[in-house]
Structure 1
């Protein structure tokens, strides 16, 4: 829906390609979460600490493969979730 001055009133959907997107190219308003399918434990991941450990040029797909649940210790099927912070 557009305003009479051609301003978008509804924000558009923005897709993120996890095989191409890296920690360096991911916009700062995205927050990274991890979720375990076994115990449904979910936690926020500090992207600066993750970039320090694995390198800022690591793709999000590779990060998802190396996740380990802090709740139950599960290493298979863990999901990497992205959320957007509200922007003013």
Structure 2
């Protein structure tokens, strides 16, 4: 699956992510976060560095995903946090 800006949203084969233990501070710099709403199907990139300053770099991806709210429809339930890998030159 590809983001409209060309970011690969599929799980990379060379990096296994355990969302229960992965934190904002432990993600490699090549990864970006994208929020996905199941109700209106909206996807939006998230500034992970600002999120780390607000919530703390020790916040797990699961705890971040539970607090997501869709900016399109206001949905709180079932929102997902997707990991994207930026292309390497």
TM over 0.5: yes
Partner Cα separation in structure 1 for residue 42 and residue 87 of structure 2: 24
Q: What is the SS of the residue equivalent to 1:53? A: helix
The Cα shift of 1:12 comes to 4.1
Q: Residue 71 of structure 1 aligns with which residue?
A: 72
Corresponding residue pairs, total = 78
From the CA coordinates, give the structure whose radius of gyration is larger: 1
Q: Return the structure number with greater relative CO, CA threshold 8 A, min gap 6.
A: 2
Normalised by the size of structure 1, how large is the TM-score?
0.84
The structure 1 segments of at least 4 consecutive aligned residues displaced by more than 6 Å after TM superposition are none
Give the root-mean-square deviation of aligned CA atoms: 1.3
Q: Which runs of 5+ in 2 are unaligned?
A: 1-11
The Cα shift of 1:15 comes to 1.9
